[in-house]
């Protein structure tokens, strides 16, 4: 049973990644455009109530890809909007996703210190 859970997570997470790769390869979208599309898709799926069943089915295969960030934004906004109205929409998004955003900033800074990134050469 544990192997089956890993297999489903791998297949679903891999499928999400394949969609992202196809967006870049077939439609020639930039990584930034692809990232934005996947976040919006995750947000829309959560707004329609479809992302939570996907998480229940695939586990980490649905919570690790970037679509989960859109899901978290919408999920937090909707939950806080029910409690606090329109103000809750903004506070809910930031409350749920602040740790992930903070971690990305901190680890990005550490990586920049270690690897000394260079700008694009003209």
Token duo for residue 1: 């049973």
**pTM, 2 dp:** 0.79
Give the pair of three-digit tokens for residue 76: 């937090």
> HSE-up of 52 (CA within 13 Å, CB side)?
7
The rounded distance, in Å, linking the Cα atoms of 40 and 53 is 18
Taking Cα atoms as reference points, which of 101, 78, 107 lies closest to residue 91? Answer: 78
Dist CA 76 CA 118 (whole Å): 36
- At 1, is the pLDDT very low, low, confident or very high (cuts 50, 70, 90)? confident
% of the chain at pLDDT higher than 70: 97
Mean pLDDT value of segment 6-17 = 96
Provide the pLDDT for residue 122: 59
Q: What is the pLDDT of residue 121?
A: 63
Q: How far apart are CA 37 and CA 69, in angstroms?
A: 12
Q: How far is 116 from 114, CA to CA, in rounded Å? A: 6
pLDDT per residue as tens digits for the range 66-114: 999 999 889 888 888 888 888 888 788 888 888 888 888 889 889 989 9
């Amino acid at each position: 049973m544990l192997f089956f859970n890993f297999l489903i997570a791998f297949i679903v997470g891999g499928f999400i990644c394949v969609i992202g790769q196809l967006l870049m390869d077939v439609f020639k979208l930039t990584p930034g455009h692809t990232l934005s599309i996947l976040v919006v898709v995750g947000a829309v799926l959560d707004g329609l109530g479809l992302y939570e069943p996907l998480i229940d089915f695939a586990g980490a295969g649905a919570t690790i890809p970037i679509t989960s960030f859109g899901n978290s934004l919408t999920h937090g906004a909707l939950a806080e909007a029910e409690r606090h109205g329109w103000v809750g929409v903004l506070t809910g998004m930031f409350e749920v996703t602040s740790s992930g955003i903070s971690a990305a900033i901190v680890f990005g800074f550490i990586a920049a210190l270690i690897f000394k990134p260079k700008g694009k050469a003209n």
